[in-house]
Structure 1
Amino acid sequence: MKVLVYCNGQPLEDALFSKCFTWADLVIAADGGAYNVFKHGVHPALIIGDLDSFTDQAPAGVKVIHNPDQESNDLQKALRYAAENSASEVLVAGVVGDRLDHELNNLSVLLEYSHHFDSLSFIDNFGRSFVAERTQKLETAPGKVVSLFPLAGAVEGIVTQDLRYPLRNESLEPGVRNGCLNEALSPTVTISHQSGVLLLMVQH
């Protein structure tokens, strides 16, 4: 099952949302993310969270799950629901906003849940972000931005193919070196690494 989770951050542009909405079998709003879904003129199937942001009456036919647990945020609640209901692929929108603490926490959640699904990606109007496989092939286009970030300590043994600034058995480490703003040279880019957690951000 393909799931779109919409959080309460910056909304997607209508054309991008339409693609995501068509792709998804189920749309889940994480608390105030419901208002983002409503802006596109449609309803989520489910609103879940502690409901400190969504305070209105839900439209008819929309399921609401109130989970007041303060040890998890609304995104975690939505992803847990998706995992428990056999989701295989998940896109998460609305994770970028005006709160850096929320964004950093959401990256931690991305790492936490990356192994619960066949694929889990954050999507915004610029691109898509996800935890890389040991060998990751990207379908992109020449000139598109590809950024590499070490998410949880050093990432070692990185080898890239068809990036403008190649890495040849090199390492990235927080506070030492990252791979921001690299660039694809061909429609297919390959990135492999031997150890660590590598976050990829790929322009649409």
Structure 2
Amino acid sequence: MKRVNVLLGGPTSEYPNELLNNASIIPGKWVGADRGNLYLISHGVMPAIAVGDFDSINKKEQKLVKDNIADFEKYPPEKDDTDSQLAILAAHDKFDPDEYYVYGATGGRVDHFLANLYLPFDPRFADFYDKLYFKSATNTIRFFRPGSYTIYHENGMKYVAFAHLGPVSNLNIVDAKYTLKNFSADHAISWASNEFVKDTIDFNFDSGVIAVIQSCDKK
């Protein structure tokens, strides 16, 4: 499967070990958003695309990014899209991968996190939001469209949540520690702090968007 990695401008304290320890061995091409490009360059990774308004780095740092990355896409700070949206859309337009691993999407500013969480409702992401994986030190978020699924317990993650981001119909959580049967609602709910009782959990639903969040407490 073709994988592309996107590094956003979230704090490094939220990076998972795979990114902190040896980013250069993570498979797939990279797209850097704003300050994320500096981190990648300094850790031996050359992004294929640099995107953003670059308002979080100084002119010297911008020159370093521009001199090293041929595809340098700078936008004005006064824009409708966040740098995250621009970076993910650039990855989609250039590579159209099977998987998007997005780092730096869940920490830092809450308004930026919410913008990332609501991407499935932006029509531009409608065809591929279920290919997004938001990864941090303590969370992995995947989005699901209606259907039946089996998810696998990720190493190091204790909890699992099923969050419908809006209305949902006939949500069934079949074989987790806490089950749910034929649940429907006209508003968002996060069924938090569930747990695996075996290596997998099956769930299904008829309409809506479900974010499945595997998480652990921060050490």
Aligned pair partner of 1:149 in 163, 182, 188? 163
Greater CA drift, 139-148 or 28-37:
139-148
The reply to whether residue 137 of structure 1 matches residue 150 of structure 2 is yes
Aligned pair partner of 2:138 in 106, 117, 126? 126
The reply to whether residue 182 of structure 1 matches residue 185 of structure 2 is no
Q: Secondary structure at the residue paired with 1:58?
A: helix
Q: Distance in 2 between matches of 1:203 and 1:139?
A: 13
Q: Distance in 1 between matches of 2:33 and 2:149?
A: 29
Structure 2, unaligned runs of 5 or more: none
Counterparts in 2 of 1:141 and 1:121: CA distance versus 1, 3 Å: closer
Mapping of 1:64-83 within 5 angstroms?
A: 64-68=72-76, 70-83=79-92
Greater CA drift, 10-19 or 22-31:
10-19
Give 1:95 shift. Answer: 1.3
Aligned pair partner of 1:96 in 106, 110, 123? 106
Aligned pair partner of 1:15 in 3, 14, 18? 18
TM-score after normalising by structure 2: 0.79
Letter in 2 for 1:150: H
Greater CA drift, 93-102 or 115-124:
115-124
Counterparts in 2 of 1:119 and 1:23: CA distance versus 1, 3 Å: farther
Mapping of 1:107-126 within 5 angstroms?
A: 107-112=117-122, 113=125, 115-116=127-128, 119-126=131-138
Give 1:36 shift. Answer: 3.5
Q: Distance in 1 between matches of 2:168 and 2:92?
A: 27
Q: Distance in 2 between matches of 1:110 and 1:31?
A: 22
TM-score after normalising by structure 1: 0.85
Aligned pair partner of 2:27 in 24, 28, 45? 24
Instruction: Give the % identical residues.
Output: 25
Counterparts in 2 of 1:20 and 1:121: CA distance versus 1, 3 Å: farther
Number of equivalent positions: 202
User: Which residue matches 1:170?
Assistant: 183
Give 1:17 shift. Answer: 5.0
The reply to whether residue 62 of structure 1 matches residue 69 of structure 2 is yes
Give 1:149 shift. Answer: 1.0
Structure 1, unaligned runs of 5 or more: none
Q: Secondary structure at the residue paired with 1:48?
A: strand
Counterparts in 2 of 1:84 and 1:109: CA distance versus 1, 3 Å: same
Counterparts in 2 of 1:141 and 1:52: CA distance versus 1, 3 Å: closer
Q: Secondary structure at the residue paired with 1:95?
A: coil
The reply to whether residue 48 of structure 1 matches residue 51 of structure 2 is yes
Letter in 1 for 2:99: E
> What is the RMSD computed on CA atoms of the aligned residues?
2.7
Aligned partners of 1:138 and 1:190 also within 8 Å: yes
The runs of at least 4 consecutive aligned structure 1 residues that moved more than 6 Å come to none
Counterparts in 2 of 1:201 and 1:7: CA distance versus 1, 3 Å: same
Q: Distance in 1 between matches of 2:24 and 2:130?
A: 19
Aligned partners of 1:32 and 1:51 also within 8 Å: yes
Aligned partners of 1:89 and 1:117 also within 8 Å: no
